[in-house]
Structures are given as C-alpha cells and as structure tokens.
Amino acid sequence: MLKKLFWLIFANKFAVKVSLKLHSFAYRWSGTIAARLNDGIHPKHRIMQYKEWFLENIEPDLVVLDVGCNTGMMPAVMSSKASFVYGIEINCKLIEEAKRKRQSENIEFICADATAFDYTPLRAIDCVTLSNVLEHIEYRVEFLQKLITQIKWNDKKRLLIRVPMIDREWIAVYKKEMGVEWRLDPTHFTEYTLEQFEDELLRAGVKILSHHIRWGEIYAVCEAM
C-alpha cells in the first residue's frame, strides 16, 4: 500500500520536472563549491585538460586569435608556444582582469564583440581558437564566414574548436523533452550533436580535418576551405 502511494505521488510529470531541476541545481552548485575549495579555479580545468589539447595543436611561432578569451587563461597558455596571441572578449571587466593577471609582451587583449569586430587591422593570423565559445553565438555560420573572409591569413586557415554536446548524457536530452532547462549554461544558443556540428561547419565553409569526443565535448581541428 505504501509503495503504491509512493509511486502515485512521485511517478508524474510534475515530480519528474522537479527532480530534473534539482539535478541541474546540484550540478551547478557542485561546480561552485568545488571551485571555492580550489582557490576559485574549477576542477574541470585540471580534469578535462582542454588547454593541453589546444597547446598540442598549435605549432611553434604561430600568430593565434583566441575568440572569447574570458580572463585570458587560454592566451596565456598559448603564448608560451605561439609568437603572438590576440585575445578578444566582449566583457570589458574580464579583459581588465586578463590584462592585470596575464598580460605579456606577446599578448594583445581586445575588448569587443567578436561577431561585430573589424579584424582587418590585425596582423596575419595562422590559427583561430574557440574554446566553448561557438555555442554562445546565435548566428554561428555567419560568424565563421566573417572570420574566414575578414581575417588576413598566413598559410593555412586553421581553426581549433571545442564545443559541448547535448547528447553527452541521456538526461540532458530528456530534460529538453520535458521542457526543463537542459543547457550547461543558459547563455548557450545550442549544444551540439556531431551531425549538427558537421553541418554548421560545412555551411560556413570549414572542413573538419580531425576530431574526437571527450567529456561530452567535440574537439575539432579544422581548416577553412
């Protein structure tokens, strides 16, 4: 009798939605308190090792443009290998922090909207990096086309792209089906399937040279066609 009563109370859409929302809250809160325990640095940076992947795929002495550089962590990492790194970020407070903490002779931080910025005055670029950035842009195909056509390129039009996947786990897809917030970040316009990612890049004129999936994210070495 008690078992039937339990399932009568909890086996319904309202209860499922509440539990899914609690799951999302626990995910976000776990990351917040974990970062507090680690001097403000989220443990995902150490565990996922995405910075190492970008660095491995940048050849020495290249000129790199890092789009969505946040507080400058990626430009600082890549500046140890690249000859020069541009870091562009829309949030000027983050750029101020980047300049305060991570400025060096071979880094230039730019506070601007990457989708509207005029890239023509920059020096010739060898590689563009987008680390969990593309999903924050609404008109992604148009943005990539703008980058490709407006940037002065050196030899190869190389792009290194990292994006989150919606099919990283079943519960993200189920949340979307149930009308519950499913995104890792509410500012995301999308989270990808591999098929969607390949289609968007193809429409933008970008070829995927190689890719792998790790921690529910796509890591892709690409080249503009």
What is the CATH classification number for the domain harbouring 82? Answer: 3.40.50.150
Q: What is the pTM of this model?
A: 0.90
Dihedral of the alpha carbons of 55, 58, 60, 62, in degrees to the nearest 10: -130
Res. 5: pLDDT tops 70 = no
Res. 40: pLDDT tops 90 = no
Tell whether 116 is covered by a domain.
yes
Confidence of residue 43 (pLDDT cuts 50, 70, 90): confident
Res. 4: pLDDT tops 80 = no
Res. 111: pLDDT tops 80 = yes
How far apart CA 43 and CA 31 sit, in angstroms, is: 8
Could you list the residue range(s) of the whole structural domain that residue 191 is in? 49-224
Q: 3-class DSSP state for residue 188? A: coil
Of all residues in the chain, what percent are helix, strand and coil, respectively (each to 5)?
Answer: 45, 25, 30
Of all residues in the chain, what percent carry a pLDDT higher than 90? 82
Q: What is the DSSP code (8-state) at residue 192?
A: B
Mean pLDDT of the chain, nearest integer: 92
Tell whether 134 is covered by a domain.
yes
Res. 211: pLDDT tops 80 = yes
Tell whether 71 is covered by a domain.
yes
Confidence of residue 36 (pLDDT cuts 50, 70, 90): confident
Instruction: Give the least confident one: 4-13, 15-24, 27-36, 94-103.
Output: 4-13
Phi and psi of 73, rounded to 5°? -65, -45
Between 155 and 76, where is the model more confident?
Answer: 76
Phi and psi of 14, rounded to 5°? -60, -45
- Do 72 and 177 belong together in one domain? yes
Confidence of residue 10 (pLDDT cuts 50, 70, 90): low
- Do 53 and 32 belong together in one domain? no
- Do 25 and 80 belong together in one domain? no
Tell whether 155 is covered by a domain.
yes
* Overall number of domains in the chain: 2
The residue written with tokens 């008109």 in the block is 139
- Do 77 and 148 belong together in one domain? yes
Res. 177: pLDDT tops 70 = yes
Res. 121: pLDDT tops 90 = yes
Tell whether 44 is covered by a domain.
no
- Do 14 and 94 belong together in one domain? no
Spatial contact of 148 and 177, defined as CB atoms under 8 Å apart: no
Res. 8: pLDDT tops 80 = no
pLDDT in tens, 84-102: 999 999 999 999 999 999 9
Distances (CA, A) of 93 to 88, 115, 129, 145, 222: 12, 19, 21, 28, 31
Stretch 46-56: mean pLDDT: 92
Tell whether 42 is covered by a domain.
no
pLDDT at 6 (0 to 100) = 63
Closest by CA position to 134, among listed 201, 57, 224: 201
- Do 139 and 196 belong together in one domain? yes
Tell whether 61 is covered by a domain.
yes
How far apart CA 132 and CA 66 sit, in angstroms, is: 11
Stretch 14-38: mean pLDDT: 90
Q: Which residues contact 68 (CB under 8 A, 6 or more apart)?
A: 88, 89, 90, 114, 130, 131, 132, 133, 136
Please, which residues bridge with residue 192 across strands? Answer: 165
